[in-house]
Amino acid sequence: MKNLFTRYMKDESGATAIEYGLIAALIAVVIIAVLQSVGSSLNTKFGEVDAALQ
């Protein structure tokens, strides 16, 4: 039983997958934040163009 517990504690394959998942989630959050910022500024610019055309 002690040998099984020791092998379990040394196994790091699951930790690597979790780290990659966290990195992917962080990248997704950054992309969403940037797109929201760009989207709102584009919306403002199109509103200005629409007002100028009328």
Tokens describing residue 26: 């962080």
CA 26 to CA 41: how far, in whole Å?
A: 23
3-45: pLDDT as tens digits: 777 877 777 666 778 889 999 999 999 999 999 989 888 999 9
- Give the CA count within 13 Å in the CB-facing half-sphere of 44: 6
Per-residue confidence (pLDDT) for residue 13, from 0 to 100: 67
| Distance of alpha carbon 33 from alpha carbon 23, whole angstroms | 16
pTM of the model as a whole: 0.57
